[in-house]
Amino acid sequence: MSRNAESTAFRSALEVIRAVEPRVADAIGAELTDQRESLKLIASENYASPATLLAMGNWFSDKYAEGTVGRRFYAGCQNVDTVEALAAEHARELFGAAHAYVQPHSGIDANLVAFWAVLADRVESPALKKAQVRQVNDLTEADWFALRRELGNQRMLGMSLDAGGHLTHGFRPNISGKMFDQRSYGTDPTTGLIDYDRVAEAAREFKPLILVGGYSAYPRKVNFRILREIADSVGATFMVDMAHFAGLVAGKVFTGDFDPVPHAHIVTTTTHKSLRGPRGGMVLCQPELADQVDRGCPMVLGGPLPHVMAAKAVALAEARRPDFADYAQRIVDNAQALAEGLLSRGATLVTGGTDNHLVLIDVSGYGLTGRQAEQALLDSGIVTNRNSVPQDPSGAWYTSGIRIGTPALTTRGLGTAEMDQTAELIHTVLTQTTAGANADGTPSKAKYTLDPGLADKVAGQATDLLATYPLYPGVDLS
């Protein structure tokens, strides 16, 4: 698409929106300005291409399409069939998967589809039918316990939250924690790395139905061959949630033992993050689980979102181009350069570095909580998110860590030299921020002090750093 075409497309769209609700048009324009001017270091965010964004704003949004390709519960879905089939084809070819299901609305939805597919495949129980006739929200803790018992008291073993796992891997606040009796494996307290012998020991003792691999805040590669061997040794289904690092798998940065697709029975992912597509989810699986996975709607999902599936097809087609592999490698190169820049300035990093797209800073060494550091950095034009570190003394809300990632800045074209400059800006803010106190004089985990002049100076430096790497250079809304 030419730059003139991109500008015309987005400018025209905003004009149409403005005629109905100008405040929405203003907010959309403001979001583009904010993203252009700030250092986006949130590891789970990226910038989708203009083609991907435009694929979501069309008449597919008006369609109901429950079912699967060729087997819909609504008539008139022939065009939806086309885009869903294309998205699934691109996914299979990109990842070397036997089967791809592209309907999930999010990563959480993709995980739910996977969980229920495994349960339905493994267990035939009247409890499933009982759960369908009652409102899930009406089920008490005793009901969930009874349901689990009827399902064989199924168990899930996944990475702990403070070690980098995700809420959807069996933790109580999430529905997965009510579906399964869950236990966690952590990391070595000295190195911060997965201890596969301890995972194997936990699996032998706990005997889970599902062993989950994958993470949201673990800065190293995972050996999926070893985890599959552990799963096989106890008869567990091996599931991998690769939402964060799917782009590194697609770009062939993670291969062999570090590519989950050849080793897992079932793989879930988002289609944004490092894959650089629209917000959504996807399930890849071995042939024996395909029929159950394809029942995701209506088993777990509501109606598919055809306009998002169209955007997934576009983004997955982009990821099959040769330049995507170069992009994926640069993500890791940049993350390692960012880690080195922080380490050379005295920062403490979980595991001492990174093999992937993210870096986890333990900000307790700066005398701060994650919440204080997150806000101070935001004041300075640097967008991050607070995150737990292993054995975090500040808990999951305030945390002691900051998670940063390089997919978005790599999309803009920044390289390793700019990562070192970014490390300097982060270090400057964190060293100049001090923890505040509550009204009664006790230490606060949220309040902090940062000279506004310094924050403005760093924000200006961040904007200057980005000036050479314009975001959506083909889009001019003026």
Q: Set out the domains of the chain in order of their start, with CATH numbers.
A: 96-287 (3.40.640.10), 324-467 (3.90.1150.10)
pLDDT at position 166 is: 72
The amino acid that residue 122 corresponds to is R
Q: Which helix (H) or strand (E) holds 460?
A: helix 452-467
| Distance of alpha carbon 249 from alpha carbon 265, whole angstroms | 16
Burial of 12 (0-12, 13-18, 19+ CB in 10 A): exposed
Catalytic residues: 64, 66, 241, 270, 273, 279
3-state helix, strand, coil in the chain (%, to 5): 50, 15, 35
Helix, strand, or coil (residue 71) = strand
| pLDDT cut 70: percent of the chain above it | 91
Alpha-carbon dihedral 54, 55, 60, 64, rounded to 10 degrees: -120
pLDDT of residue 133: 45
Q: How would residue 170 be classed by pLDDT, with cut points 50, 70 and 90?
A: low
Q: Is residue 117 within 8 Å of residue 162, measured between CB atoms?
A: no
Angle between helices 370-379 and 452-467 (to 10 degrees): 70
Q: Quick check: 71 pLDDT over 80?
A: yes
Q: At a CB cut-off of 8 Å and minimum separation 6, what does 30 contact?
A: none
Helix (H, G, I), strand (E, B) or coil at 337: helix
**Helix segments in 234-383, DSSP class H:** 246-250, 287-293, 296-299, 306-319, 322-344, 370-379
What is the reported pLDDT for 125? 45
pLDDT of residue 180: 79
Please tell me the pTM assigned to this model: 0.90
Q: Are strands 281-285 and 266-270 parallel, antiparallel or unpaired?
A: antiparallel
Q: Is the pLDDT of residue 18 over 90?
A: yes
Phi, psi of 98 (to 5 degrees): -70, -35
DSSP-based three-state secondary structure for 450: coil
CA dist., res. 259 & res. 365, Å (int):
34
d(CA 247, CA 253): 9
Dihedral pair phi/psi, residue 445, rounded to 5°: -90, -5
Count of C-beta atoms within a 10 Å radius of residue 107: 27
Q: At 139, give phi and psi (nearest 5°).
A: -75, 130
Q: 449 - beta bridge partners?
A: 434
Q: What pLDDT, on the 0 to 100 scale, is given for residue 3?
A: 60
Element (H, E) at 447: strand 443-449
Per-residue pLDDT band at 304 (split at 50, 70, 90): very high
pLDDT of residue 406: 98
Amino acid 31: pLDDT: 95
The whole-angstrom separation of Cα 252 and Cα 374 is 32
Q: What pLDDT is recorded for position 153?
A: 55
Position 441 scores a pLDDT of 84
CB contact at 8 A, 311 and 230: no
